[in-house]
Chain A
Amino acid sequence: MAVFKRGYERYDGPLTGAVTRFLAVPRFVWPRLLAERFVLVLLLVSLFWPLLCAIFIYLSNHANLLPNLNEGGDAIQKLLRIDGRFFATFMNIQSTFAIILAAVAGPGLIAPDLANNALPLYFSRPVSLASYIGARLVVLFGLLSLVTLLPGLFVFGLQASLAGSSWLAGHWTLGQGMLLGFLLYILLLSLVALACSAYVKWRVVAGALVLGFFFVLAGAAQIVNQVFRVEWGSLLSPGYTIYTIWCALLGVETAADAPDAGECLAAVLVLLGALLAVLLRKLRPVEVVS
């Protein structure tokens, strides 16, 4: 029967579980995000660097095909080596695309709900604050994985398949380090994007705030270091702390007098806590005016 002839009837069928309800938002948001032209272009552009890395890996594993390279001696061999530094560089460059993507996609997840006063609609349903935030984290996790985790695992898998099982046996920690490093980075980036989105109702301003968050804090870290002639100011820079953690996970040496990975991890955890506190404070179904 045509829907307009049927009339309204109360739904009395079975209800879905908490997981299905939790995934309702990602299922709605992902197609909408991927339909945005800018997001699509950014995703495509972000694949260039992994592609270049894949070509580099192919060349490094087929150096014998290029006789001139073998004549270059140790310097060329060192350059072609696939080690922790290679993956740290890969992650560092790829993370820039992730920041831009988070700045574009992140603010659209919460800011419109605040601008349209839609939070009571969510929270009057069986949706808790944790699941509201969690669903948006899943959206960003899926999107940012496309430019970080997936290309990273592809590059690592390519190297492992070309270099053989002996290389994999000796370097599996690189894959593990990249996985953990990217997971931590995605969590940080997602929370930054959501907190900025929750703090500013205007989507464009929230996007600018996400970009500014990393650059302004990096600048502030440099100022602290220069003014007080210290090194711990670098802990203020999320980019620096994350890179130091990555280096530790990938077994790459960093400057001896700079904050070590443990201190950087502590700084990142404090930052994550602060971002979560901002989200919990801003996301309330009703505004209580004191």
Chain B
Amino acid sequence: MTPIIAVDQLRVRLGKREILKGISCRLGASGVGRAIGLLGPNGAGKSTLIQTLLGFHRPAAGTAQILGLDCHRQTLAVKTRIGYMPENDSLIADMTAVAFLRLMGELSGLPAPAALEKAHETLFHVGLGEARYRKVGTYSLGMRQMAKLAQAIIHGPELVILDEPTNGLDPAARQRMLVLIRQMKEQHGMNVLLCSHLLPDVEQVCDEVVILKDGQIVHQCDLAAERQANLRFVQLHVSGSDRRFDAALREVGAEGASEAPGVWRVVLPAGIEVEVLWQLTARENLRITKLAYRRDTLEEIFLKAMGHLPASPRPEVAHGRL
């Protein structure tokens, strides 16, 4: 199946600085609505990657493809199949929302009657139906974000690139935005590339995550698989001497790592139930003070990728399959 985004040894220079340093990845699969999160600290190269995918920057080396089309050589063909919501305020202020969306629709290739129809439809969809005849310049920040989302999806693109879509939104509007993004992939089969600093947003919406640091991919994982795997991921607080607990865990085929004195993170292999931990701790004269199923939050994954947390004990981590 053709990946939504395929990047191979991509290098991008802006001036004398190399921003993307030979990154390679294959993300998503066409025909399946999936959301891909793009994470990284400031200056990691997220925006440059997005802009290269949009054809704004010429790669110094390597290739970037969207839906099997080269972003640099087949840029117009790529752009008919994607929608882009920029991070910054980016609107035509002295137009009504309907006129603005209609123009954007027509520029994307919609016939004039269809563009008008879709403009109304999309504005109602994002919750701007009642304000659609107001000039976009009079909109509040939250409404502008929704208008930006509307212009990105009016032509029903296969891939929607969202750059910080929840910036400046109040909690209710943020939730509404996330619901819309989820609907885009689940109900309308669109693929979403979501670039955000807000890890809970990415965690809530995305199926895959790519983490960039200093122009390189430091981590790539399938969040859906991660969620399933982490059902057997246990955090244990014990009191007593736990020096031999690690060896005890190995005896039953489990793996554990001490995160802090008395705090263990244990991965239970298939077929081993939690009750085994009770038996082991009783045998080792340990008292469990707290036991919790927990999974790596995206924040932990992110911090680990950044090198601020020790890696999890599981061998899969080393292969990038958290």
Contacts and interface: CB of A to CB of B under 8 A. Distances in A.
A123 B151 CA distance: 13
B3 interface: no
Interface string A176-189: 00000000000000
A284 to B, nearest CB: 8
Contacts of B94: 112
A126 B92 contact: no
Contact of B156 (A4, A11, A121): A11
Contacts of A12: 156
A286 to B, nearest CB: 5
Contacts of B103: 24-25, 28
A28 to B, nearest CB: 5
A82 B94 CA distance: 47
Given A112-B93, A124-B84, A24 B155 contact: no
A288 B91 contact: no
Interface stretch (A14-22, A58-66, A225-233, A252-260): A14-22
B145 to A, nearest CB: 14
A120 interface: yes
B91 A116 contact: yes
B152 to A, nearest CB: 8
A3 interface: yes
A33 B124 CA distance: 29
A15 B110 contact: yes
B109 interface: yes
A263 interface: no
Contacts of A9: 121, 156, 188
Nearest to B104: A121
Given A3-B121, A21-B106, A120 B86 contact: yes
Interface string B135-175: 00000000000000001011110000100000000000000
B22 interface: no
Nearest to B47: A286
Contacts of B77: 126
A16 B91 contact: no
A24 B99 CA distance: 12
B108 interface: yes
Nearest to A116: B93
B15 A290 contact: yes
A7 interface: yes
Interface residues of A, number: 39
Contact of B106 (A24, A116, A285): A24
A20 B106 CA distance: 8
B309 to A, nearest CB: 33
Interface in B83-97: 83-84, 86, 88-94
Nearest to B117: A3
B252 interface: no
A24 B114 CA distance: 13
Contact of A10 (B51, B84, B111, B156): B156
A3 B15 CA distance: 48
Nearest to B81: A126
A112 B121 CA distance: 27
B79 A21 contact: no
A127 interface: yes
B118 interface: yes
Among A10, A117, A125, max chain B CB count under 10 A is at A125
Nearest to A17: B109
B261 to A, nearest CB: 48
Contacts of A126: 76-77, 79-80, 107-109
Interface string A56-100: 000000000000000000000000000000000000000000000
In the A-B complex, the 4 residue pairs with the smallest Cβ-Cβ separation, listed nearest first, are A10-B156, A15-B109, A8-B125, A124-B84
30 contacts: A3-B124, A3-B129, A8-B153, A9-B156, A11-B110, A11-B118, A11-B155, A11-B156, A13-B111, A15-B109, A16-B110, A20-B106, A24-B103, A112-B93, A116-B89, A116-B90, A117-B88, A118-B90, A118-B92, A120-B84, A120-B86, A120-B90, A121-B151, A124-B82, A124-B84, A125-B80, A126-B108, A128-B76, A288-B14, A290-B15
Given A8-B122, A28-B99, A121-B84, 10 more contacts: A3-B129, A7-B124, A8-B121, A8-B124, A15-B80, A25-B107, A112-B94, A121-B86, A286-B57, A288-B15
